[in-house]
Structures are given as structure tokens and as C-alpha cells.
Structure 1
Amino acid sequence: MEDLYVIEQGCTLKKLDQQILITKGGLKIDSIPVFKIDKILLFGNQQITSQALNLAFEYGVDVLFLSYTGKLKGKVSSINSKNIYLKLSQYEVWKDKLKRIDIAKKIVKAKIWNQYMLLKKYNISEMNLLEQMKKIDTAKDVENIMGYEGIASKIYFDNFKSLIPSNFVFDGRNRRPPKDEVNALLSLTYMLLLNKLISELDRSGLDGNIGFLHSIKYGRESLALDLIEPFRQYFCDSFVLKILRRKEIVIEDFEKREEGIFLTDTAFRKYISKFRTESTKIDEDIKEQVLQIRKYILGEGDFKPMMRK
């Protein structure tokens, strides 16, 4: 099964037998058997009929509503897990400081290792990253762990910028809004992958608002933010480097708007096509991570974040 991305503005999704029919102005654009769809992502100005929603729910297909630039605005799905005992176990693990620190350490160590391995792939051996990784073992609380993570990320991005094609300007990570083209791509890729994690956590019955590394905050999907950390380098940064270095996305594909720098409409379609193809390769990894954190919470197994080999 694959995610269905609807980008063409002004579309309507309808039910046609056991298929999702996509139309615009009364004309058919496409139709996809619902059993082939994992999630439906609607970007910008789209509509979906109640009949199509009911068909999606029948097959366990989530429907995500996003801004045109990929920010999640809302999500509808079939009835969430009623496993209250799982949620109670999650709250108990969160209240246990030692377990919370254990999960946080594993996540950040995996992230730093993936930073090291991505740079190594391009013949950069940054031993300072491994030093920060070792220091995490001695951390006494989540604040210390985040401090080492911040130092490691600074070291990592100082090296990462040397891998970017020379016609792009990249002086480190910035966001809200991104101030350059590379940061625009990174932010978009992180956001789309985060949407995948949010949906998978929802299906698992876990409470996405209760994280272990990221603090609890009203409306924040803290657990999804936890789990995406190792994937930032495991998938996202690697994907961005690939499309830039292969010139599949070029400097002319961006435009400056009042709210920041974004891909043009044509380039956005091109980007989404590439993201959809590449991200399906890690769908099983995402499911495995959610399954592992679920088992850890229930006391049925260990949690091992994704690490590059």
C-alpha cells in the first residue's frame, strides 16, 4: 500500500464502488482501489465526500488535511484504539524518570550516530560527534541530553553545508520560516515524515502527545517528535542531499514569498513525486519503530531506534 497525495488544487474525492475517484471540474483525474491506499493526504483546497470518507474508514485509511506547503492542519480516521491499558502504561513510563531518560538517551545517541554515518558516507569522519554520543551515557536528566544533542547538531551542520552544491547558500539550520532554499527543503521533508509518524502512532493506540525526549506542550505531538529524531539523518537529510546533488531540484525551483522561501508550484509537484517514491522505502522502518516503543511501554521488549549501518 502507498500514500495517496492529492496536490492539484480544487479536486474532489468521491467513492466509486471500492475505489477513491479523484475529479476536478467534473472530469476524472484518477481512481485508485482503496485497498491499495495507506493514507490520503490532501494539500490545500480539496474536498472529500462523506461516502469517500466512510469507504476510507472501512479500510482503515486515515485522511490528512494539510496546508499547500505541507503543514498538518487536521486528520480524520476510523475510531481510535480503545486500549486504555496501553495509554495508562504509557503514562506510567512517562512518570518514571529513569525510563524516560533511558528512552531519551537511546533516541539522541541514535540520532548522533546517524549524523556521523551520513557524513562518513561522504568521506567526512567527524570524531567529535562520537565524543558527544559517549557523553550522553553520563547525562542525569533530559535537559543534559538535549544539551549534548544541540552541540552535536552544530558540529553536524557545520560539516553538512560542505556537501551542498555551491550555488546554494546554507549557513546552518533555521526555520519558522526557513530563510534559504536548503532549509526550506529540510523543513518540508521533516514535516512530511512527521505526518507519517503521527498517523502510525495514532493507529497503534499510543498517545502522541506524551513524549519522552520532547516536553509535553499543549497540542504538540511530542512522541512523534521523539521518534523522528533518528530519521532526520537516516532518511530526511540524505534525501535532500540526493535531490540537490543530482540536480533534481535546482535553485530556480524556489521563490521568495512574504512568509519565507518555498518551492514553486511546479517544483513542489516534482518534489512530492520524489518524496513519495523514496519515503515508501522506510514505511516498514517507521512501523517497526512504533511497534518497538509500544512493546517497550508494555514491558514486552526493548526499544532500539533506527541506526545507519
Structure 2
Amino acid sequence: MNRVIIDRECKLEVRNSQLIVEDKKVPLRYIDFLYLIGEIEINTKTIMKLLKEDISILIQNRGFGLIYPQKSKNNDLKKKQYFALKKEVYIAREIIRKKIQKSIDNLVKLNKKIVFDFKILDEISSKNSLLGIEGNFAKEYFKEYFSLFDKTLTKGYRSKRPPEDVVNALMSYLYTLLYYEIANRLIFYGFEVGISYLHESFRDHMSLASDLLEVFRSDVDVFVYEMFDNKKVIKKDFTKEKKGIFLRSEKRKEIWSDIKEFFENLKIDEEIAWLRKMIED
């Protein structure tokens, strides 16, 4: 996927099938996903031109919003998603199975070890029980994970809404970005992102993206550890606000290339194909 990230105050327009950003021009054929962050001036005419070229737009400005081409496609897949709800416990269980296995494998990469009896998953007959088991595993997982960091960087547990330390702040930010990355790919392939199997759908929550995000969470965790371990981000790169701790915009701009490379190396399309097979089988 070709991402273009614009993280500065500027004006955007489209002329002659090119995205014009001040003195730079990017042919629209080279853009699949456009990130717009901060104070960017763009009008509805320009947005419509981008959508006409099947370019999705992620807007971040005191929150996130995804704008994507509203073309109805692959209605057969949407029907299969609906009928697959009768086996939602099975699909949810396999998502959690894959998440736990990947989490264990990623901890090994970080010289940490955790044991889990996968046989217990085969005995699950309800989502509530499944979520309870996943929650217990997560406690053990995060105990090992946060022990990797210096105590000045983290309080030693997962915190969100708001994140209470710099490690959690970076984790939450990247989880959110990846959620939109996954949602965009699912929409591209014709999935109905409001039909899901592990997470409950509500309002504008793209719950199927949340389902698949579970598979990649520990990949994000490894990336976060490496960013701190390699000193690409440090404690002073974050600011404390009333709503929590957040990455400073100056640092965010510096590490976009690292984030892009990380996303490009994730096998999102492969996992979407795996999910589709479970739905269609």
C-alpha cells in the first residue's frame, strides 16, 4: 500500500491528476492511503477528487476520522459475513488463538517466556468465557512485557483512556493507527467492517478491524520496545496533558518513516485472507 503522510500546516489541492502540496506534486496513481495530520487546509472538491481515484483519507486532528470511497462492492462477501455469525464463537476463538500464539512468539524474541495451555480454548463455548481466558493471559503477558522497560518509562501495566506513561502512550497511538490501516484494507476488499465476531459493533466502531487488530497487537508491542531500546524515542518526547500522556508532534514527525516501514512489513493482507477463509468455509 502506498501511503502519503502530510504532517504540517499547508494547503492541499488536486490538479492534473496530481496532489499539490505547496511546491511538491505527487501523482494520484501513487497514492492508496493519505494521512492528513494537524492544521491542513483542504476543500470538499479536493476530497471528492481523491475519493474518485479510490484514495482513502485518514484525518487526525484532536481525534481520528476515516473517509473512504463509498462504492458498494463484493456484496457476496458481506452476505457470507452475516451468515458466518452463526459460528462467531469459533471465529473469535481462532482469532484469540492466533493472538496468543503470536504474543508468546514475540515475547521469545524479547527473551521473555510465558506458558499457555491451548487445549483450554477448545473447550470454550461462549465469547464471555473466551474473553475471560484472553484477559487472564493478557495480565501475564503484560507483566512480562513491561518488565523489559526501565521503571522511569512505565508503571508496569497496560493503561489506556488515558495512557498513564510514555510506553502506553506510544502503544495506544500505534494501535489506533493500525486499526485504521486494517479498516481501510478490509473496506478495499469489500468487507462490511461493522460485522464482527470477537468485538461488539456499536455506533461507528469498525469492529471487524478491531477483531483483526488483535492478531497484530504484540507486533506493535515489539516495535514500541525497539523504538525505546534504540533511543529513537525517549521520555522527553512525550507531553503530559489533562487527558493523559501523548507523543509530541515534533517527535511524531521524526518517526513517520519508522512507522511506515513497520506497517509495510506487517502481513495485513495475509491475515485478511486467513479471516476470509474462516468466514467462507
Please give the range of the TM-score, normalised by the shorter of the 2 chains: over 0.9
- Report SS of the residue matched to 1:185: helix
Give the aligned partner of residue 292 of structure 1: 274
Give the aligned partner of residue 106 of structure 2: 118
Equivalent residue runs for 1:166-245 within 5 Å? 166-233=151-218, 235-245=219-229
After superposition, give the CA deviation of every residue in 1:27-57 in whole Å (9 maximum; x if it has no partner): x2x3222222120011232232455434423
Give the aligned partner of residue 303 of structure 1: none
Once residues 199 and 252 of structure 2 are traced to their aligned partners in structure 1, the CA distance between those partners, rounded to angstroms, is 30
After superposition, give the CA deviation of every residue in 1:81-104 in whole Å (9 maximum; x if it has no partner): 33333222211111x1xx211111
Give the aligned partner of residue 305 of structure 1: none
> Is residue 2:248 matched to residue 1:278?
no
Once residues 226 and 78 of structure 2 are traced to their aligned partners in structure 1, the CA distance between those partners, rounded to angstroms, is 39
> Is residue 2:30 matched to residue 1:36?
yes
Contact 2:68 2:184 in 1 (8 A): no
- Report SS of the residue matched to 2:232: coil
Once residues 294 and 106 of structure 1 are traced to their aligned partners in structure 2, the CA distance between those partners, rounded to angstroms, is 12
Contact 1:14 1:22 in 2 (8 A): yes
Equivalent residue runs for 1:63-82 within 5 Å? 63-68=57-62, 71-73=63-65, 75-82=66-73
After superposition, give the CA deviation of every residue in 1:217-272 in whole Å (9 maximum; x if it has no partner): 23221111000001001x21111011000010001111111111111221121233
Q: CA deviation at 1:275?
A: 0.7
Residue identity opposite 1:122 in structure 2 = L
Q: CA deviation at 1:113?
A: 1.0
Equivalent residue runs for 1:155-174 within 5 Å? 155-174=140-159
Residue identity opposite 2:4 in structure 1 = L
Once residues 112 and 32 of structure 2 are traced to their aligned partners in structure 1, the CA distance between those partners, rounded to angstroms, is 38
Give the aligned partner of residue 88 of structure 1: 79
Q: CA deviation at 1:293?
A: 2.4
Once residues 259 and 286 of structure 1 are traced to their aligned partners in structure 2, the CA distance between those partners, rounded to angstroms, is 31
Q: CA deviation at 1:274?
A: 1.7
Once residues 167 and 2 of structure 1 are traced to their aligned partners in structure 2, the CA distance between those partners, rounded to angstroms, is 37
- TM-score, with normalisation over the residues of structure 1? 0.85
Q: Cα–Cα, structure 1 residues 17 and 165, in superposed 2: closer, same or farther, change >3 Å?
A: farther
Percentage of pairs with the same residue: 28
User: Structure 1 regions of 5+ residues with no counterpart?
Assistant: 300-309
Residue identity opposite 1:298 in structure 2 = E
Equivalent residue runs for 1:22-61 within 5 Å? 22-23=21-22, 28=23, 30-61=24-55
Once residues 14 and 226 of structure 1 are traced to their aligned partners in structure 2, the CA distance between those partners, rounded to angstroms, is 35
- Pick one of 263, 269, 288 that aligns with 2:247: 263
Residue identity opposite 1:88 in structure 2 = K
Equivalent residue runs for 1:121-132 within 5 Å? 121-127=109-115, 130-131=116-117
Give the aligned partner of residue 249 of structure 1: 233
After superposition, give the CA deviation of every residue in 1:112-164 in whole Å (9 maximum; x if it has no partner): 1111111111222212xx22x33111111111111110001000000001211
Q: What is the aligned length?
A: 281
- Report SS of the residue matched to 1:21: strand
Give the aligned partner of residue 20 of structure 2: 21
Give the aligned partner of residue 3 of structure 1: 3
- Report SS of the residue matched to 1:163: coil
Contact 1:165 1:245 in 2 (8 A): no
User: Structure 2 regions of 5+ residues with no counterpart?
Assistant: none
